Structure 1
C-alpha cells in the first residue's frame, strides 16, 4: 500500500488544498521517515499519542530518538543540510497536524544559492544570448519573465484576456484611455499605432496567493504578438504561453528541457549555479531583482513588483500608487530589454503631479469642512447659552 493511502496520511493530505508539488514533497519526505523508522504513518501517530498521554517528558518518549535516527539516515543518503532542514520540518508538520508535540531537534542549513556571488549569476549578455537563440514562443516567454520578475508558474498561467486587461490598465494610469483595446484584433491594431506600451499586471502570486502589481517591457509585448502570429490563440481564455500547436499551458518540464538544450548549445553545460544549470527558469526572476537593484530602483517597489509579502502593518495600511511604481519600473526597463531599441514615453511625472494636486485640493476641502464644523459648534454653544439664560 502506498503511504498516500494510509488513513492518517490521507487525512493529512486532505486537510488543506495543497499545491501539487507541495503534496508530492510531503509524500516523499514522510515516505523517507517511514522507510527509516519502519512503521506506517498510522502506527507512528498512534504510538506518539499513547506516549504523550503516558508522560509529559519528551526524553521518555521514542520520538526524539526517531528524529535523531532520521537525521543520520538522511546524512547517509547524502542529503544536504538544507534539504534535511526542510524534510525534518515537513515531518514535524505531519505530527503537529495530529496535535503531537515534536522535539526541539532541528538541522541548520541554507540553500547553496545563498553563497553565490552576483558575478557568478547570468548577466545581461547571457540572457540576451538565450533570448536571441530562442524560437518565437520561448523568446516571448523568457523576455516576459526577465522583464516582469514573474516565475514560471505565474507567467504560464496568464490568459490572452489578461494581456488585454494589462494593456488597458497601462492606458488607464497614463491617461490614454482613448486607445483602450476591446479584443485581440484591437490589440494588434493599437500596438501598430502606439509604441512603448508597458503592460501593467494586477496579479495574484500562485505560490503565496499574494496580490501585487508588476510590469513587462514593450519588447516582450512585441515578442508575444510575434509569437501569436506564428501560433494564434484559439480564443482569449487560453494561456498566452501554450504547448506547441495546442491550447494548453506550457509545462514546466518543456521549459527546462528547452533551457537545458540552450545551455549546451551555448557551451554552458559545465557552468552551474549550485546543483542547477547556468540559466534555468528561476534565473529570469533573479536577473530582474538584481538588475533593478543595481539600477538603484527603490527596494520596496522591487519587492512589490515581485509579489513579496510586506511586514504586517505595512501590508495592511501602506499602499503604493501604480503610477509611482510605473515610474520606478521605467527607470530600469532599459536593463530588461535585450534585442530592441527602447522607446517608452514617460509621463508619470505629470500623473504624479496631478495626484499631488488632487491631494492638496482634498486637504483644502478638509480644512474648510473643519472650519465650517467648528463654526457650527460655536453657534450651537451660543444658542444653548441663550436658552439657559
Structure 2
C-alpha cells in the first residue's frame, strides 16, 4: 500500500467516525473542534469514497442524507478552498456547468418574489403568478438531473468502482423534483399555505445549491481525472436526446440508429425477419420495453415515438438496480429474485403520472425447460384504454 493510499484510508475512517457521531446526535460545532486536524487535511474526492462506504452500511436514506448534509457542512470550508476545476470551454462538463449557472440565476430571481409573498400584504395573484412562472423555469432543470441519471451515471459506474454515492445524489434529485412541483401547486391552488410554501422553497434553495456545489467541487473534478476526455465528449449525443435545460452545446452530435451487427433473416420459429424489421416492429408497439438478462444487465430497450420513461444507450450493460431511484431499488431486486427462484412469473403496478395512468409490468423470460434468462419490463399509458365502453368492431372502422 502506498503512503498516499494509506493516508486516504485513514482520513476515510476518521470521517466515518465523525459520521457515526453525527447519527448519534453529537453537535456539529463540537465535532469540528475535536476533529479539526482531520477535516483540514481532507480532499474533495474523500467525500466520494466516504459516501460509497456509508451506502454499503444500509443506513435508511433519510438518515443517510441528513447525516451527509451535516458532515459536508463540516467539510465545506476545506473543500471550498481546494483549487477550483475549470473544464475546457465547449467540453461536456463545461456545458453541464453552464447549465448550472443558468439554474442558479433563475433561483436567485425567485428570491424577491418569495420575500414579497412573505410580506402577507403582497400575496397578490400577480406576485404568486410570477413566482410560479419562475418555478416552472426551474422545473425545466429536471432534464439536467435526468441527463446525469441516464447518461453520466452509467459512465461513472464503468470507471469508478466506488460509485454508490450516485444513489444518494439521485435521491436528492427526486427531492428537488417533488418540491418544485409541490411549490407550483401551492401557488396555483385555491388554498395557499404560507408555512408549507416557505418549507418547500427553503428546501429547494438548500438542495439545489448543495447539489451544484457537490458536482462542481467534488464529482466533476474527479470525473475529469478518471474518465478519458473522448468518452466524456461522446456523452453529448445521448444527452441531447433528453435535452439540456438551458444552455445548448454547439456542434453536430448526431448518431446512427440503424440496426448493427446482424445481416440476413433471423428465424424466430413463427416467421423470419431481418434485424431492421425487428427494430421497426418493436419500436412501433405502443409500449416501452426493456430487457434485462439473467445476470441483471440491461441488454435492450425499445424506442417508440412516445417514450414513457427515459432511456439512452448508456444503460446498456448497466446493473438493473442502478437504473432506478434508490427508494425503489429494493423492490426491483425483490421482483428479480422471485423470478429467478421460480416463485413468480409476472408483477404488475399502476401509477398516475403527469395526468396519465401508467401500467408497468414485469415478465420473467424462461427457456422451454424453465431456465431463467432474464426479465422484460413493459410500460404502457392506459388512460384511454380505461375509458373504453361497449364495442368497436373491425367493420365499424371509420376510413
Specify the TM-score bucket, using the shorter chain as the normaliser.
under 0.3
Q: Going by fraction, where is helix more abundant, 1 or 2? A: 1
- Larger-Rg structure: 1
TM-score (norm 1): 0.26
Whose RCO is larger (CA < 8 A, sep 6+)? 1
TM-score (norm 2): 0.25
Q: Going by fraction, where is strand more abundant, 1 or 2? A: 2
